[in-house]
Amino acid sequence: MAIADTFPRTREEGPVAPVYGLKPEVDGLAELYAWVDEIAALTQPERVHWVDGSRAENDALLREMVAEGKLIKLNPEWRPGSYLARSHPSDVARTEARTFIASEKAIDAGPTNNWAEPAEMRETLQGVFAGSMRGRTMYVVPFSMGPVGGPLSHIGVQVTDSAYAVASIGIMTRVGAGVLREIAAGKHWVKTVHSVGAPLAPGEQDVEWPCNDEKYIVHFPETLEVWSYGSGYGGNAILAKKCFALRIASVIGRDEGWLAEHMLLIRVIDPAGRAYHVAAAFPSACGKTNLAMLRPTIPGWRVETLGDDIAWLRPGEDGRLWAINPEAGFFGVAPGTGESTNVTAVETLWGNTIFTNVALRPDGDVWWEGLTDEPPAELTDWEGKPWTPASGRPAAHPNSRFTVSAAQCPQIAGDWDAPQGVPLDVILFGGRRATNVPLVVEATDWTHGVFLGSTISSERTAAAEGTVGELRRDPFAMLPFCGYNMADYFGHWIEVGQKLRFDRAPRIYQVNWFRKGSDGRFLWPGFGDNARVIDWIIRRIDGEVPAVDSPIGRLPRPQDLDLDGTDVTQADLDELFAVDPVSWLREADLTEEFYAKFDGRIPAALQTELASLRYRLQRA
């Protein structure tokens, strides 16, 4: 008898609150059954639950977590169907230092990834996973990234002992029998394994947020597997997200000729009703969600949201680049999200949301820095401690999160989950730069655009470990997420561009909403006014306005930016678009230092772009 058949399945058959899911009886799943049995034999769970993705199942799971003290149910008058989770203080962000690419050759991981020898890492993982789920339920979650059966979609199965992860996967992906039918029909599926690494002895009381100080997030690109141990945090536990949809998918895209990108996806509609599709890559916590849910301040313009974090881009037979958002939900940063910065996100969070590490109000609702201009008089902070404005510490963790269905977004596009995706007109690359980088720069062609993407740098944010504010290179906003050698990734971008018709390929731009003046203040108002930059970009691709050549790319003429109703002065514009050759030559030196890390694998075309940049700067 298979191990998955030996565990209690119903309320009557076992001492557990929810009804435990039956093993699906579907022809063609022998490989899946065998794999589940193998993982169960290794991890030794108390029971196995096959997740069907139903509302009843999810409700039972949430009730069980509330009963166990792992979730706090919020006041349904203020936030119906919503819950608050508090993580362990040591488990609040992606653990990049413990994230590994276990490729067969170290060079295939490259210098920006932590490489692990596959056989040695498998031995290590076998050791830590052995018995790791004792006393717990092992959930089997079949999921699809993209609409089930869609031409750009891919599927996977996650096994996990975290009910929090299961509930989150149910929001972020498409879970259910449709995925099993895809597997039964022979479609390839990615195997992902997750344990919080906190087995329970008989009779041992569980903790509010189980995790382990020892952590591993390991990707095997040759076999398309992910193994994650020790963390319950979303980015380390929702393996369909960064681990699959970026690191593993980037490898699949390399092999199949498409791109898996850390990008938002929007449709911009001008006053004449013409629609344009924009993908934009920004590092975490640098404004992606705000732009994804942009409400333009220019009359007559509107934005429809297609995705806020990940886009898969595939060349079409028509010579255009087509994109889908493979996710079904938003896993967004809460602090800084408020009525004045992102009213759409606030409206999206009206209910049916899982919040993590935000503060709790006395009335049973939640709060975080930036939600309102004035904080409440008293709160319970993200660690469960009393808090007042005089406490001298944040009430919510800087990387606190919300997980919510994309379908709840009030400006979600009606076809946001269309299987075929949308054709791209514009690609934006951006980061958080106080100096040097202008408000917007147009690439002269696709290769120059790839060069711009490869040189992106940003100030480190609270979404990842490290010193907040430290400048780090983050090419294409993919530094933590590229599943193979990044120099080869740059080359793959160039190859994808060669598959596009030159007159149908999306135009590439670099933007920087965060440049500061000599007085230390932000020069650009940002948020809804970022539509003014997109307005100029669209007029550029329609050939309606000229641009000014500079050593680093094409810049707007100041008179071509619609600044009506803003406080942006001519002096601000002068600083926003200032290109200092001396500073940029230092920037070129930093780029050369970064390229040198790749031991000669940087594409020759990008080395030529760097040499040309230096030549233009020296002549400026």
User: Domain of 110?
Assistant: 3-70+94-257
Within this chain, do residues 245 and 304 fall inside the same structural domain, yes or no?
Answer: no
In a domain, 80, yes or no: no
CATH of the domain at 357: 2.170.8.10
Query: Rounded to the nearest 5 degrees, what angle is found at the Cα of 398, between the Cα atoms of 367 and 458?
Result: 135
Q: What is the pLDDT of residue 22?
A: 82
Q: Which of 257, 281, 312 is the last residue of a domain?
A: 257
Residue 78 lies in a domain: no
pLDDT tens digits, one per residue of 446-490: 999 999 999 999 866 555 555 544 578 999 999 999 999 999 999
517 and 375 belong to one structural domain: no
- pTM, entire model: 0.94
Residue 581 is part of a domain; what is its CATH number? 3.90.228.20
pLDDT in the model for residue 35: 97
Q: Is residue 135 part of a domain?
A: yes
pLDDT at site 463:
52
Task: Indicate if 188 and 239 belong to the same structural domain.
Answer: yes
Asked whether residue 184 falls in the same domain as residue 270, the answer is no
Looking at the structure, do residues 436 and 580 belong to the same domain, yes or no?
A: yes
Q: Residue 36 and residue 301: Cα distance in Å, rounded? A: 50
* Residue pointed to by tokens 């100080």: 213
Query: Residue 196 in contact with residue 232, Cβ under 8 Å?
Result: yes
Cα 109 to Cα 105, 114, 256, 328, distances in angstroms: 7, 7, 18, 29
Judge if 142 and 284 occupy the same domain. Answer: no
Q: Which residues are catalytic?
A: 286
- Cα angle 513, 517, 523; round to 5: 40
* Residue 504 pLDDT: 97
What integer pLDDT is reported at residue 341 of this predicted model? 87
Conformational region of residue 217, where left means phi above 0, alpha means psi within -120 to 50, and beta covers everything else: beta
Q: Which two tokens stand for residue 161?
A: 């002992």
387 shares its domain with 450: no
587 and 528 assigned to the same domain: yes
**What is the rounded CA–CA span in Å between residue 200 and residue 516?**
52
Within-domain flag for 75: no
CATH of the domain at 61: 3.40.449.10
Residue at a domain's end among 350, 375, 408? 408
What is the rounded average pLDDT for all residues in the chain? 93
Q: How many domains does the chain have?
A: 3
Indicate if 234 and 366 belong to the same structural domain: no
Would you say residue 82 lies in a domain? no
Query: What per-residue confidence (pLDDT) applies to 467?
Result: 56
Which candidate, 328, 399, 333, places its Cα nearest to that of 176? 328
| Structural domain includes residue 89 | no
The residue out of 257, 273, 303 marking a domain boundary is: 257
Q: In this predicted structure, what is the pLDDT of residue 10?
A: 31
Torsion region of 81: left, alpha or beta (phi above 0 gives left; psi -120 to 50 gives alpha): left
**Do 250 and 295 fall into the same domain?**
no
pLDDT of residue 472: 83
Q: Which residues of the chain have pLDDT under 70?
A: 1-20, 285, 459-470
Whether residues 384 and 444 fall in one domain: no
Instruction: Look at residue 87 and tell me if it is in a domain.
Output: no
pLDDT tens per residue, range 539-555: 999 999 999 999 999 99
pLDDT of residue 458: 80
34 domain residue, yes or no: yes
Instruction: Give me the pLDDT at residue 462, please.
Output: 52
